[in-house]
Amino acid sequence: MDELYWQSGPKWPEHARKTLEYPREPVFAMLDRAAEKSGELPYTIFSGKSNTFSEVRDAADRIANFLASRGIKEGDRVALFLPNVPHFPPAFFGALKAGAKVVTCNPMYKAGELRYQLTDTDAVAIFALDHPVYTPICYDAIKDTSVETVVVCSVKSFLPKVKAILGGLLGRIPKSPYYEEDKTFFFDDIIAQYEPTAPDVTTDPEDTAILIYTGGTTGTPKGAELTHTNLVSNILQITEWVYLEPEDVDTPGGVRYGEEVYVGAVPWYHSYGLTVTFLMATWHAGKLVCVPDPRAGRPPLSDLLKELDDNRGTVLNCVPALYAAIVNHPDVDKYDLTSITICTSGAAPLPPELAKNWEDVTGTLLFEGYGLTETSPVTHTNPMNRRNRKFGSIGLPISDTDCRIVDTETGTKELPIGETGEIALAGPQIMKGYWGKPDETANVMREFDGKRFFLTGDIGHMDEEGYTYISDRKKDMVSVGGLKAYPREIEDVLFENPKIKIAAVIGLPRPEDPSNEFVKAFIVLKDGEKATQEEIIEWCRDKMAGFKRPREVDIVESLPLSQVGKVLRRVLKDEELKKRGLQ
């Protein structure tokens, strides 16, 4: 059987080619092309003020010139310690134009976490937000590292003039309490003082463009090396797949050049937000709405809803936790979300009940996809039409992507259709490897039929039509009396309870038999609802097999979330083990 058999099945989208041609070009070529073709179109939008593609390219070239003047050369690493602010695109493309590799850093990191990435990559420069908290963290983090250049980025110059003046007068514009003069340069000064002439560098498309840190399959932070080819390929794969049909939406068709409005709800330091929102907007000359904190506002998320409404956002890529928060927002009906047409969920499993709730509240179709940092990130998505999508599935492997299910012990034996095992992936979007960790890279790579496959650490199976279903992360499986319980499956069922807003499930060792585990659930109730542990456990009795049913339930006010919005099961588990004296 052909390994890409799903491409000949009835559910493969008619418009989507099975294999594509990919241009051999650096990532920054997309900005240059958009500026040359559509330079006067608005690109970044922040607090109501826009900058055009020509203006952003001009700024990127000036930054590249500045970095070169600081001795930064081809192959050096430049870190971005920034949220979704308008400085991010010119800093990102400017570093690439200088020949550097970009290291994206979570702006919520503490000094030790940031220092680890800077040390691991030997970064020589960093861009940081001018802020009373984040700038001092940056200065603390660069101690004993190779960083000699700190570019401080103030939001003032990107605000409308009236807001900038009033903000300055009222002290509302964030500002660092101090600056280390010997290493500090200011973004605005660089734009004012340097010519828009990027250095002449030779960029091999197979070179690493960015380093994005991930726990991968082991939980140890590693820098995934994504090449220029990886990123460009994934953009074209995603573009090929997007096609909305007349029976589903009022504006059918694919991605519209120069017309889409991408709302940056997911952080750009993360591969999901970086590729599917930031780079897709650049490639297609779309507006890019900068949302530094999607949870901001009163009540929380009000700012994001306002940006969607004010800018008539058409493309929204979010994580399930954000979709759940929007659905449950007390004022959601006061915002007009009807402009949203392309709406995807990724980075964490999407409970089918949540997707249905989202569509009931907004009238917008929601499609689940799948990917990892190591895969640039997208490898699967559901067909973007109502009749062929399958709730609970991550969809079909996209163009030029080969998916296999292999044994969980060695990752060397391919399993038949329908059997559960580890998901392995091959395609042009698969990373080069983990930065400075050849052994870690070798551990997650296998070869089948002459192709290089990445072992994802996710457990799942494929059905006879090629749709893939994820049971859970390999490391999150709960072993109950020799049977495997998957937290994601249990959470999906819990989400069907009308009182439950969000749930997380972990496995814990049984006191009487530490080699065996039991299931514990953490529940956040919807506003105004009340429930007891016993009530939830009893509700589960008719919903799932005994070994899957939670033995303990904690009703909590909130769950620990990553900056991207993933529930941090490992934090819950660590806390529980400490409480029980097991860690």
Listed by start position, the domains of the chain span 53-204, 481-579
Pairing state of beta strands 378-381 and 396-397? antiparallel
In this prediction, residue 5 carries a pLDDT of: 85
Predicted confidence band at 482 (pLDDT cuts at 50, 70, 90)? low
Local confidence band at 1 (pLDDT 50, 70, 90 cut-offs): very low
Higher pLDDT, residue 306 or 9: 306
**In this structure, are residues 285 and 258 in contact, taking their beta carbons and an 8 Å threshold?**
yes
Q: What pLDDT sits at residue 165?
A: 63
pLDDT band at 157 (very low <50, low <70, confident <90, very high): confident
Whole-number pLDDT of residue 235: 98
pLDDT bin (cut points 50, 70, 90) of residue 455 is very high
Does residue 288 contact residue 43 with C-beta atoms inside 8 Å? Answer: yes
Neighbours of 380 (CB within 10 A): 25
In angstroms, the CA 268 to CA 525 distance is 30
Q: How far is CA 181 from CA 99, 139, 354, in A?
A: 26, 11, 50
Other CB atoms closer than 10 Å to residue 181's CB: what's the count? 6
CA dist list (Å): 572 to 197, 505, 556, 557, 558: 50, 9, 11, 13, 11
**Mean of the pLDDT values across residues 252-270?**
95
Partners of 479 in the β-ladder: 484
Name 265's Cβ contacts closer than 8 Å, sequence gap at least 6: 273, 277, 291, 294, 304, 316, 317, 318, 322
What percentage of the chain carries pLDDT values higher than 70? 95
What is the length of the chain? 583
Do residues 582 and 509 touch, judged by C-beta distance below 8 A?
yes
Give the CATH number of domain 481-579: 3.30.300.30
Name the pLDDT band for 489 (thresholds 50, 70, 90).
confident
Stated pTM of the model: 0.84
Whether residue 219 has pLDDT greater than 60: no
Asked if the model's pLDDT at residue 498 lies above 90, the reply is yes
Separation between Cα atoms, residue 383 and residue 483, nearest integer Å: 33
pLDDT average, residue stretch 97-123: 94
Distance CA 314, CA 342 (A): 6
Cβ(286)–Cβ(259) below 8 Å: yes
Lowest mean pLDDT among 138-142, 282-286, 318-322, 564-568: 564-568
Mean pLDDT (whole number) for 30-52: 97
Reply yes or no on whether the pLDDT at 350 is more than 90. Answer: no
Query: Across the chain, what does the average pLDDT equal?
Result: 92
Model confidence pLDDT, tens digit, residues 174-186: 899 999 999 999 9
Q: CA separation (Å) from 389 to 246, 283, 356?
A: 16, 26, 13
Tell whether the model's pLDDT for residue 296 goes beyond 80: yes
State residue 10's pLDDT score: 86
Tell me the two tokens of residue 393: 């599935």
Q: Region 383-409: what's the mean pLDDT?
A: 94
- Spatial contact of 176 and 142, defined as CB atoms under 8 Å apart: no
pLDDT exceeds cutoff 50 at 90: yes
CA 8 – CA 509 distance, rounded (Å): 46
Calculate mean pLDDT across residues 489-504.
91
Q: Is the pLDDT of residue 223 over 60?
A: yes
Q: Is the pLDDT of residue 471 over 90?
A: no
Residue range 389-405: mean pLDDT, rounded: 95
Strand pairing report for 101-104 and 208-214: parallel
Confidence of residue 503 (pLDDT cuts 50, 70, 90): very high
pLDDT of the residue at 367: 93
The arithmetic mean of pLDDT across residues 507-522, rounded, is 84
Using 50, 70 and 90 to split pLDDT, how confident is the model at 55? very high
- Decide if pLDDT at 556 tops 90: yes
Between 434 and 159, residue with greater pLDDT:
434
Q: Is the model's pLDDT at 171 over the cut of 70?
A: no
The more confident residue out of 135 and 583 is 135
Mean pLDDT of 273-293: 97
Is pLDDT of 173 > 90? no
Question: Rounded to an integer, what distance in angstroms lies between the CA atom of residue 16 and that of residue 400?
Answer: 11
Q: How high is the pLDDT of residue 167?
A: 61
Determine the CATH number of domain 53-204.
Answer: 3.40.50.12780
Strands (E), 125-229: 125-129, 149-153, 184-186, 208-214, 222-227
Per-residue confidence at 218, pLDDT binned at 50, 70, 90? low
